[in-house]
């Protein structure tokens, strides 16, 4: 057994007993290897089978990692999780560091799109397992005179917005709040137990989040692991990976506040300018080209128009060429998940090509905030069109001007999820 003694800040991880959940791939795997390289005795608990290509203790890839022990543990099974922690403690007589890195991702589903089962699954792995782990190690660390608890979570927990992975953002926000409360309580108790929150923005692994990844260069799992080990050595309360994530958080808060204040003024200015003939001609030429370029560069996650108005990228099948054609359009979201779009063509006398494409092939696709959905288009007429037109004019008054200047009946389509 390793004799119990309190570890001062800044001391090497050598000889310390470290638990890592979610440690068979990505950041968790790199963390396990980095701690082992520093001389720690690492126990990895993960329900993913490590395999020869993923095992952190693979002797061919990392001969120095022989002090890593892998155990098949489902962190959402409280009994199994507590049994694993108890077994490690029985073997070594102490637990110095707990690193909770387990997470379950369910794609980039937004709040309305994710299922209850997805939300519960993500919460069980990301938040519930953290609480259960902490409850199990706290008395063990207290009896040993100290320890370190590390909670790893994406930086998206501090941010929200359309197109984000809602389950991930919610779980990580909960993890951050819990971690901060735990740190405050333990700091006042004289327990000698430190708490570190790790916010990872774009660590280059399978859980890289696209919205932040559009703006920040990714840190490799190895770089992220080194930052976490440094935080453990010095018992830092929090660490952002990459370091520029800190500035991004601050900029996000400032930008969000600025948008909230300026959105109304910007919308009124654009709507007023849109009645100007010269503005119409310029925007009908410039805006689609800019949005198509932004769509290509960011995989559909960034467009110009959605910064102020609900918009989408519509992909149709060319009625003549048979090839995919893309066009950015304003849209009106409906409660059932459908979208209304108007074939205004910025008030030009002829119908836009994309509307002809939809009449020929109603099957299409739309992309909003990086997520692509197949849809079926229906041309509205009669009372249904009248009701939709009233909605669209309230949403975007310049449509009335488009109708007058074009001299035609503007087509309105409903795009329903296929």
Checking if the pLDDT of 102 tops 90, the result is: no
CA-nearest of 371, 252, 368 to 303 is: 368
- What topology is assigned to 17-242 in CATH? Rossmann fold (3.40.50)
φ and ψ of 5, to 5 deg = -160, 150
Over the stretch 10-45, which tens digit does the pLDDT of each residue have? 678 899 999 999 878 888 899 999 999 999 999 999
266-302 pLDDT tens trace:
455 555 544 444 444 445 455 555 555 555 555 545 5
**Residue 65 DSSP symbol:** G
Q: Does 152 or 249 have the greater pLDDT score?
A: 152
> Residue 24 to residues 11, 131, 157: CA-CA distances in angstroms?
26, 21, 23
Mean pLDDT of 297-314: 61
- 391-415 confidence digits (pLDDT tens): 899 888 888 888 999 999 999 999 9
Quote the pTM value. Answer: 0.58
pLDDT value, residue 89: 97
- Buried/exposed code over 22-50 (b: 16+ C-beta within 10 A; e: otherwise): bbbbbbbbbbbbbbbbbebbbbbbbbeeb
Say which CATH architecture domain 274-417 belongs to.
Roll (2.30)
Write down the residue that tokens 């900029």 correspond to: 251
**Tens of pLDDT, residues 377-393:** 999 999 999 999 998 99
Domain residue extents for the chain: 17-242, 274-417
Instruction: Give per-residue pLDDT as tens, 187-218.
Output: 888 889 999 998 876 444 444 344 444 445 55
Residue of 164, 46, 72, 54 lying closest to 114 (CA atoms): 164
17-242 matches 274-417 in fold: no
pLDDT band of 158, cuts 50, 70, 90: very low
Write down the pLDDT at residue 202.
46
By the 10 Å C-beta count (0-12 exposed, 13-18 middle, 19+ buried), 90 is classed as: exposed
Average pLDDT, the chain: 77
Q: How far apart are CA 26 and CA 204, in angstroms?
A: 8
Report the percent of the chain where pLDDT is more than 90.
43
pLDDT value of position 19: 97
User: Which tens digits make up the pLDDT trace of 252-270?
Assistant: 444 444 444 544 444 555 5
Peptide bond into 16 cis (omega under 30): no
- Rounded Cα gap, residues 187 and 46, in angstroms: 30
Locus of tokens 């309190």:
6
Strand ranges for 201-346 from DSSP E: 238-241, 311-317, 324-330, 332-333, 339-343
Residues 6+ away with beta carbon under 8 Å from 89:
95, 140
């Amino acid at each position: 057994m390793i004799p119990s003694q309190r570890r001062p800040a800044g001391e090497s991880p050598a000889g310390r007993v470290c638990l890592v959940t979610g440690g068979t791939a990505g950041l968790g795997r790199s963390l396990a290897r980095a701690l082992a390289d520093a001389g720690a005795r690492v126990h990895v608990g993960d329900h993913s089978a490590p395999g020869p290509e993923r095992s952190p203790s693979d002797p061919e890839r990392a001969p120095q990692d022989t002090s890593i022990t892998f155990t098949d543990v489902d962190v959402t099974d409280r009994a199994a999780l507590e049994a694993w922690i108890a077994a490690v403690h029985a073997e070594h007589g102490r637990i110095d560091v707990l690193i909770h890195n387990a997470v379950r991702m369910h794609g980039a589903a937004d709040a309305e799109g994710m299922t209850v089962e997805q939300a519960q699954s993500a919460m069980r792995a990301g938040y519930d397992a953290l609480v259960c782990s902490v409850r199990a190690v706290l008395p063990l660390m207290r009896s040993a005179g100290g320890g370190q608890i590390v909670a790893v979570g994406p930086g998206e927990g501090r941010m929200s917005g359309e197109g984000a992975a809602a389950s991930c953002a919610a779980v990580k926000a909960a993890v951050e709040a819990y971690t901060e409360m735990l740190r405050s309580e333990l700091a006042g108790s004289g327990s000698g137990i430190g708490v570190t929150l790790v916010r990872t923005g774009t660590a280059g692994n399978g859980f890289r989040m696209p919205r932040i990844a559009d703006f920040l260069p990714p840190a490799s799992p190895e770089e992220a692991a080194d930052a976490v080990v440094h935080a453990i050595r010095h018992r830092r309360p929090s660490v952002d990976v990459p370091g520029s994530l800190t500035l991004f958080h601050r900029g996000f808060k400032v930008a969000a506040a600025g948008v909230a204040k300026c959105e109304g003024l910007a919308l009124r200015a654009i709507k007023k300018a849109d009645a100007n003939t010269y503005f119409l001609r310029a925007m009908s030429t410039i805006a689609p080209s800019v949005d198509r370029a932004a769509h290509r560069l960011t995989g559909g996650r960034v467009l110009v128009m959605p910064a102020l108005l609900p918009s989408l990228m519509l992909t149709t099948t060319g009625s003549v060429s048979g090839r995919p054609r893309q066009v950015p359009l304003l849209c009106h979201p409906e409660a059932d998940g459908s979208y209304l779009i108007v074939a205004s063509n910025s008030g030009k006398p002829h119908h836009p090509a994309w509307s002809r494409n939809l009449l020929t092939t109603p099957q299409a696709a739309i992309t909003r905030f990086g997520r692509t959905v197949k849809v079926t288009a229906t041309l509205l007429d009669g009372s249904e069109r009248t009701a939709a037109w009233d909605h669209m004019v309230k949403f975007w008054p310049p449509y009335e001007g488009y109708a007058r200047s074009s001299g035609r009946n503007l087509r309105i389509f409903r795009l329903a999820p296929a």
